[in-house]
Amino acid sequence: MYDKQHAELLQWYRAYVNKIYPLSDEDFFSLGKFLKFKHIKKGDILLEEGKVCKYFWFVGKGCLRLFLQKGNIEINVRFFFENSIASNFASLHSGEPSKFSLVAMEDCTVLSAYRPFYKAVINVSKPIVQLSANFYQQSFFTEIEHSNSFKILNPEERYQYLLAKQPSYLQRIPLVHLASYLGMSRKTLCRIRSLTPKIVSFDTV
């Protein structure tokens, strides 16, 4: 039996999964039984650079931060908020050492899945294989969209793009981490934020 928080988070995960590829009750149970409910404190490290990523985490509450360390500088590459799956997907998929670290930016509640356990389920379930394929496809296009914003947009436009697409980032992410994510200094970000924002369309980014 699951406690109330665990059961509720499983329901959220089921709703998340159904948007990607609906699973039968039997297939979801096969996957869900390996998901462990955990509380994670702010600052806890889930993955260290140089180690192989062996888990993915479904975030029920809080935020996780994926970053690269270069000298004394942290370069943020992705944030994972509620109702998202967090991991270093390249390392998780390939089994190669991670180039990034993953840390809790806030207190979190998550469902964690250990790779050897869920891989065993994937190997015998075609629907879960399709779910995994659809998820990786969506994740790939998300990464491409973010990468394109650096190639196409200047710093001011990148800020406007984030304001239009992910306004919650501006409310919950500390400026030092947000500036790194946007590829600019904190001073530049503060200057841009001081200006009256004007939301524009970025449909082609």
Between CA 27 and CA 49 the distance in angstroms is 33
d(CA 178, CA 75): 10
- Domain membership flag for residue 147: no
Assess if residue 148 is contained within a domain. no
How many distinct structural domains can be found in the chain? 1
Pairwise CA distance, residues 105 & 103, whole Å: 6
CATH code of the domain containing 118: 2.60.120.10
Q: Which residues contact 173 (CB under 8 A, 6 or more apart)?
A: 63, 79, 105, 181
Can you give the residue range of the structural domain that contains 37? 4-125
* Assigned domain for 172 exists: no
* Beta bridge partners of residue 80, listed in sequence order: 64
75 located within any domain: yes
Question: Can you give the pLDDT at residue 201?
Answer: 42
Q: Which residue has the higher pLDDT, 175 or 147?
A: 175
- CA separation (Å) from 129 to 27, 61, 85, 136, 192? 11, 27, 16, 11, 44
Q: What is the DSSP string of 62-81?
A: S-EEEEEEETTEEEEEEEE-
Is 57 part of a structural domain of the chain?
Answer: yes
Q: What is the pLDDT of residues 153-203, one digit of tens each?
A: 998 999 998 888 888 898 899 999 999 999 999 999 999 988 845 544 444
Provide the β-strand partners of residue 67: 76, 101
Closest CA to 131 of 55, 30, 7: 30
Residue 131 covered by a domain: no
Are the beta carbons of 108 and 172 closer than 8 angstroms? no
- Domain assignment present for residue 140? The answer is no
Under the banding of pLDDT at 50, 70 and 90, the label for residue 1 is: low
Residue 176, in any domain of the structure: no
How many Cα atoms occupy the beta-carbon half-sphere of 121 within 13 Å?
Answer: 21
